[in-house]
A and B are shown apart, each in its own frame.
Chain A
């Protein structure tokens, strides 16, 4: 069932491409159908999920026997969690891009090509296959931004494409070296994870592969693609970029770099944690002084992804499961934030500058957007009751056990997060200047078109997810935590002394 998420997405991409150009409504219907079918498959797969030894094999076919490459898809709890996230983000993405009129069929074709690649990465058990899907996701991102983007889209699209490609190049070198050195003639992740690479090899291979993936996860100082990319991208693409593409990177760190080279993680643990915390604090501080609404959210993504990396570096199960939960949580919340900023506000106000938005009386004009943003802001700050709280708490607990000082600094990052979120909310939606401005041109506030049904549905879906997971985190934690018992993580557990 889970494998169908991949096939359906690629089929959907093809179907969208072949839809008549003159009929965007039909294309949208096909797109929504594809996204819903993907989500349905993901849900069904999650409900039927019966792992043996922590892992459920989905498909296993010989592909290129000469090099020991198999088409092998498998899921553990981590994959299932992220596949669910992808399904939700895809549906929300389609709903939030209902107003794309320019080259609609190509837009959704690229959109689903990206989604298909993402599903594929989360489900691959073969390193080669994982890499293939990882790279498939690069090109659609470029075109989504370059064709349908806004501010400095050429620059942002090329920057994102090159950063991704450089990252995957680093991964490629690492995986080829691992393949050559192990001499196992296999790209199966489980087989490679059982092999113990020499510490000297792990010392350079681990940072190479980890950083290669972490570039896409927005790790400081390789994060600079993220704010520019997010703000240039059309709404659905920023939702996907922040929501799932950054998770691809973090997932790769966990699934490839850490399982293959656990000793390497141990050697570089403190450096990585320091980078992660720098990202948390730096991202939050920079978000504080941004003038562009989307840049605020873009830097907040860098900050929140720092928690994922911190959790991964903690080298204990609380930290890891917190990191995975944070991937899910941030995927939902970032999607929601970008939905509000990109679709609800920018598409109506045609500006993202905080100073201009301040005078527009958005609370009156589009109250739904204001309420959604407040909820999303609370979730993003890590208020109890939302998914962000439990995820970041777990990461902090995990980090506290490993490096208490850094954990305190990360805590500071959360505080700054509260400040910029509240500041931005107040400025955009609840500003004093609003009344003054309104008295001058009273009609201005009413020009904005009302929030559409699709936007409401999309927002409701995302809010529902973050609240459900926030109130009942065991729903996902029961999936995630047992995964770390699978043989894939043997080496990692051993390195962590568990």
Chain B
């Protein structure tokens, strides 16, 4: 270990360092210099700093394109995880912009600092291939998010949501750690690719199966897949709106990416178990989790009257769709999954943006609060239509292509036999169900008239800009999916997955 090595590592870590320093800077600026100024001013400064920091990190990544592997997979840079990190940073910026108008806290600096720390955790999560680092960065993300959920100190719901999220999260961390320790015991390494090799030579082992189940349980909590989803509706509903948006977007992207990496790389050869028993493999297990998530998420969403809870259940359903992508072969799985999760996250942030305006101005997140939105805020209503139809999978929006590609990839696995046809059929059928409840929201927005006292909403400029921008991105990515797909596929091809 010589000094140049450290310098290289430092420069490789620069994006994460920039984000961490920004977090400290935001905190310092707010605590030291701005305590006497009005809150909106403090919020704007903090959000501005956050944006600059994230932009700086992205700029660094794209100006200094390097690849490398430090300390045996502890820290890895490749084109794919750079793309993922850029997406996470982008989502952070959008979340920060949506937070500017928020009125739930007086602790602006702390709020944005935590947001940035969570982001840094997600970036580490995306750029490691080591179980230990995965766990450590996952904890950084989780701890920050617990606090972000609890941030509305005046709201009992927020506290309740945070406690639920914390308890479930803690349990999932325990499962994950247990699984990881078993894996380490079996293979003697924490490096995922080496572990894959060892696991393959070991063949199907009962202990390996236990470890696998533990890992799936642990990550299942993170991505809110059935039956580990119970925290999601409460957390979505109780948390301050930007925190919900961040949990639903950035956290999803990072968790799915690392889950896919552990499962698809670490257990690459064990998808179907061994010849004598398929039970040891993760594919049957995961397909069941996917099916349950799709069915339960979609059916439960029908009954919701709170739009936040509805989005939470729809998030569970979408987690189910994304798990279908895991079943595709090799690189296709990563490409389809990342395309889906990225567009899904962007769509969700946009939806939360609209939801935030409605909550702030109308006073609730019930379906009826959306009545006549097309008259009260036509642009927002149009954007909401784009987001919800994209979630339902209607072309020409990004959500449609995401779903299409996901299902196509899952079907293309094993030649002529179409082993996952039943899952795709279930997925498509459940999409039909989902159209029903998305249309319920849109019916309120476009069909139902607002009562006479309703006035046009005063939409803050920043929220307007974010929402319109996101809607445009969703439409563009739907019409020209290659813009995102080609970079992803090239990066994956370069990695040889």
Chain A interface residues toward B at CB < 8 A? 63-67, 106, 128, 131-132, 135-136, 138-139, 142-143, 146-147, 154, 158, 161-162, 165-166, 169-170, 172-173, 176-177, 179-181, 183
Contacts and interface: CB of A to CB of B under 8 A. Distances in A.
B447 A143 contact: yes
B482 A66 contact: yes
Nearest to A133: B395
Interface stretch (B5-13, B106-114, B132-140, B406-414): B406-414
A179 B408 contact: yes
A67 B405 contact: yes
B431 interface: yes
B435 interface: yes
B432 A166 contact: yes
Interface stretch (B89-97, B297-305, B418-426): B418-426
A158 B428 contact: no
B408 A169 contact: no
B431 A169 contact: yes
A147 B432 contact: no
Contacts of B439: 142, 158, 161
A173 B424 contact: yes
Contacts of A131: 395
A66 B443 CA distance: 37
Contacts of B425: 173
B431 A64 contact: no
A63 B404 CA distance: 15
B400 interface: yes
Contacts of B102: none
14 contacts: A63-B482, A66-B482, A66-B489, A67-B405, A67-B408, A135-B395, A142-B439, A154-B443, A166-B429, A169-B428, A172-B404, A179-B408, A181-B418, A183-B415
A165 B489 CA distance: 30
B389 interface: yes
B21 interface: no
Nearest to A163: B432
A134 to B, nearest CB: 9
A139 B485 contact: no
5 tightest Cβ-Cβ pairs between the two chains A and B: A180-B411, A132-B395, A169-B428, A146-B447, A180-B412
B485 A64 contact: yes
Contacts of B446: 106, 143, 146-147
Nearest to B405: A67
Contacts of B374: 106
Contacts of B395: 131-132, 135-136
Given A66-B489, A136-B396, A177 B421 contact: yes
A221 B109 CA distance: 63
A70 B469 CA distance: 27
Nearest to B440: A158
Interface string B253-264: 000000000000
Contacts of B389: 139
A158 B302 CA distance: 14
Contact of A181 (B416, B429, B436): B416
A176 B407 contact: yes
Given A166-B432, A181-B416, 17 more contacts: A64-B401, A67-B408, A131-B395, A132-B400, A135-B400, A136-B394, A138-B394, A143-B446, A143-B447, A158-B439, A161-B435, A170-B428, A173-B425, A176-B404, A176-B424, A180-B408, A180-B412
Contact of A176 (B411, B435, B481): B411
B396 A169 contact: no
A158 B436 contact: yes
Given A143-B446, A162-B435, A165-B435, A66 B486 contact: yes
B197 to A, nearest CB: 30
Interface string B429-461: 101100110010001001100000000000000
A162 B482 CA distance: 30
Contacts of B435: 161-162, 165
A158 B435 CA distance: 10
A261 B83 CA distance: 41
A132 B475 CA distance: 13
A165 B438 CA distance: 13
A111 B25 CA distance: 53
A166 B395 CA distance: 15
A139 B390 CA distance: 12
A138 B436 CA distance: 13
Contacts of B485: 64, 66
B251 to A, nearest CB: 28
Interface in B362-380: 374
Contacts of A173: 421, 424-425, 428
A194 to B, nearest CB: 18
Contacts of A132: 395-396, 400
B245 to A, nearest CB: 25
Contacts of B447: 143, 146-147, 154
Contacts of A154: 443, 447
A175 to B, nearest CB: 9
Nearest to B382: A17
Nearest to A136: B395
A143 B439 CA distance: 10
A177 B394 contact: no
Interface in B480-495: 481-482, 485-486, 489
Contacts of B396: 132, 136
A113 to B, nearest CB: 11
Contacts of A177: 411, 418, 421
Contacts of A65: 482
Contacts of B415: 183
Nearest to A147: B447
Nearest to A172: B428
A165 B432 contact: yes
Contacts of B421: 173, 177
A63 B408 CA distance: 17
B394 A169 contact: no
Given A67-B408, A162-B436, A169 B418 contact: no
Contact of A162 (B401, B407, B432): B432
A138 B439 CA distance: 12
Contacts of A139: 389, 394
B265 to A, nearest CB: 22
Interface string B49-84: 000000000000000000000000000000000000
A170 B404 CA distance: 13
A162 B404 CA distance: 19
A169 B436 contact: no
A41 B396 CA distance: 24
Contacts of A169: 428-429, 431-432
B481 A64 contact: yes
Nearest to B408: A176
B415 to A, nearest CB: 8
Nearest to B433: A162
Contacts of B412: 179-180
A142 B392 CA distance: 14
Contacts of A179: 408, 411-412
Nearest to A178: B411
Contacts of B407: 172, 176
Most B CB contacts (10 A, CB to CB) among A161, A176, A177 go to: A176
Most A CB contacts (10 A, CB to CB) among B421, B432, B486, B489 go to: B432
Contacts of A147: 446-447
Contacts of B432: 162, 165-166, 169
Contacts of A166: 429, 432
A132 B395 CA distance: 6
Contacts of B482: 63-66
Contacts of B443: 146, 154
A143 B446 CA distance: 8
Contacts of B428: 169-170, 172-173
Contacts of B486: 66
Most A CB contacts (10 A, CB to CB) among B405, B425, B429, B485 go to: B425
A64 B482 CA distance: 6
A147 B442 CA distance: 11
